[in-house]
Structure 1
Amino acid sequence: MTIHERTMVFGWENDGGIGEKLIQEIIDGTKTTTCALKAEYTVDQMQEVYRQVHERVTILNKHGVPKVNVVVVDVYETTFGQPDSRLVEGEGYGRDIHGFQEAHRLAWGDLGVPLKEDTILIVEQFKKIDN
């Protein structure tokens, strides 16, 4: 497997297997987006995220083990309260905005991250590529 310079990590210590589940969804092709809070990025990090469009990225698990490669096809902003349909679909929720919101409230709530209707999310949309 080719390991690319750019990487994304899925999972964190004591995540209850969420990271590996998300990686498997990427491998299966059912997960084609990921998101994070805009407030967590510095200006430099934001610029770097937007620069990765059309770049190949290696997905790592929480232990740094490479699992799959993707190409980033788009980066955009949306709000948690009115999420872009591409995000909801790419996270595997079809058109179920409420399901997307509840799952993220639970996951991020466990990390102490409060989500409000106007919370801005940075979305990275990607496509799995051959290793």
Structure 2
Amino acid sequence: MAGEIDIFLAEQQTGKAFASRVKRNLLASIRSKTKQKTGKAFKTSVKPVFKNGFLDRITITTPYYIYPILTVGFEGTKKNGVNARLKALDFFNEALENGKLVNDLADAIGAQRAEQVVARINLTRSGNE
């Protein structure tokens, strides 16, 4: 049986692995949907957040224009007076592999937490011995 520290370290390792997988997919999606190879869009960061020894969430931090402009689109006048129309690009859904990544994370964390519950069970035998 794995101890409490081993289970915590395994969950921490799983959180970091999935955070790097989300970041890799997100940057690849941005790279494939836009024609730029550098820029503020590539300053996106993804990190796991732990509370009380458990993975609480995976936080995605992007520059201000990534979500509203590239996800919803833009139609209007730019600062220089030129009318512009940008199509909505669904790169978040592509980065999460249409929910497959979230399901994989839930399965991995669920298995580790089930192992933790089994490790905490104290089996005693009652009755005549």
TM-score by length of 2: 0.28
- The structure that is strand-richer by fraction is 1
| Higher normalized helix content (fraction of residues) | 2
- Asked which structure has the greater CA Rg, the reply is 2
